[in-house]
């Protein structure tokens, strides 16, 4: 049976290694991504949220933070050629772990409406990223969060190499609780030439909607889980308000 890609990880992996390579070459200037305006026809349909609903949720998450970066689906699709190029060039060891971070990203994005919000922290390796994935088919949402559980079992440690830059990843399960039907949490420790970075992620599945909150660069996993849980619950309330 073909495994579906863990979409947030696939995109993050490609762009993280691309960013790592550019930092080493001295091109580390942040680039702000602008969000394309939603079309008038983009409205919530059934239990799947449309572009306008997701844009409204993203605006609530970003608030008045002038450094917040919103990437909607149109902007993400524009980045796909680069992301897919990086994924194809990436060497993943052990090879069996490649299934979790490499696949047809275009096909994966066809299954869902998505938006992400990045809230920068005090340094370049700190911050909060919120992703809202609203699927046409609830089964696809379930498959995505199940992949995270499978990854913990089969690929808790692996490496990714691109353009001579190697990143070693170790993933461990954490305990978390949200208001969603299904909640999963993990901590990723990424070891690169610049040092080790922690990412604590809490994902919650409710109906067609998957919410993922990642805390980057924290030093206390328990505190990061609590922060992520609170943000997940806030986003779930925003989703309920849009779907009602």
Is 239 part of any domain?
yes
**Is 231 inside any structural domain?**
yes
Is 35 a member of any domain?
Answer: no
Q: What is the CATH number of the domain that holds 229?
A: 3.40.1000
CA pair distance 58, 66, nearest whole angstrom: 13
Per-residue pLDDT of the chain (244 residues; tens, 9 = 90+): 334 444 454 445 444 444 433 333 333 333 333 333 333 333 333 479 999 999 999 999 999 999 999 999 999 888 888 888 888 888 999 998 887 766 667 888 889 999 999 999 999 889 999 999 999 998 988 888 887 777 888 889 999 898 888 889 999 999 999 999 899 999 999 987 778 999 999 999 999 999 999 999 999 999 999 999 999 999 999 999 997 7
Contacts of 115 (CB under 8 A, 6+ apart): 35, 51, 54, 55, 57, 58, 70, 71, 72, 73, 131, 132
Tell whether 87 is covered by a domain. Answer: yes
Residues in contact with 234: Cβ distance below 8 Å, sequence separation at least 6, in sequence order = 61
In a domain, 224, yes or no: yes
Residue 175 lies in a domain: yes
Domain encompassing residue 232: 7-25+43-243
| Residues listed for the chain | 244
Q: Is 50 domain-assigned?
A: yes
Cβ–Cβ < 8 Å for 175, 186? no
**Residues whose CB is less than 8 angstroms from the CB of residue 201 and which lie 6 or more positions away in sequence, other chains included:** 185, 186, 187, 188, 212, 213, 214, 215, 228
CB contact at 8 A, 20 and 159? no
Residue 152 lies in a domain: yes
Neighbours of 200 (CB within 10 A): 25
Contact 135, 111 (CB under 8 A): yes
CB atoms within 10 A of CB 82: 12
Domains contained in the chain, number: 1
């Amino acid at each position: 049976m073909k495994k579906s890609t863990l979409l947030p990880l696939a995109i993050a992996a490609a762009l993280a290694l691309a960013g790592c390579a550019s930092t080493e070459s001295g091109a580390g200037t942040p680039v702000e991504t602008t969000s394309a305006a939603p079309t008038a026809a983009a409205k919530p349909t059934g239990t799947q949220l449309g572009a306008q609903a997701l844009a409204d949720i993203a605006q609530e998450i970003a608030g008045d933070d002038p450094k917040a970066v919103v990437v909607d689906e149109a902007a993400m699709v524009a980045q796909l050629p680069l992301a897919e190029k990086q994924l194809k060039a990436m060497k993943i060891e052990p090879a069996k772990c490649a299934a979790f971070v490499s696949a047809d990203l275009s096909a994966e994005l066809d299954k869902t409406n998505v938006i992400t919000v990045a809230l920068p922290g005090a340094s370049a390796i700190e911050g909060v990223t919120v992703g809202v994935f609203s699927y046409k088919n609830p089964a696809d949402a379930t498959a995505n969060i199940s992949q995270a559980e499978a990854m913990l079992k089969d690929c808790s440690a692996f490496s990714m190499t691109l353009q001579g830059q190697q990143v070693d990843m170790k993933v461990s399960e954490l305990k978390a609780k949200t208001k969603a039907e299904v909640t999963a949490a993990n901590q990723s420790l990424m070891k690169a030439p610049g040092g080790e970075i922690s990412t604590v992620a809490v994902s919650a599945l409710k109906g067609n909607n998957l919410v993922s909150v990642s805390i980057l660069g924290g030093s206390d996993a328990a505190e990061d889980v609590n922060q992520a849980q609170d943000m997940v619950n806030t986003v779930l309330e925003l989703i309920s308000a849009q779907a009602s």
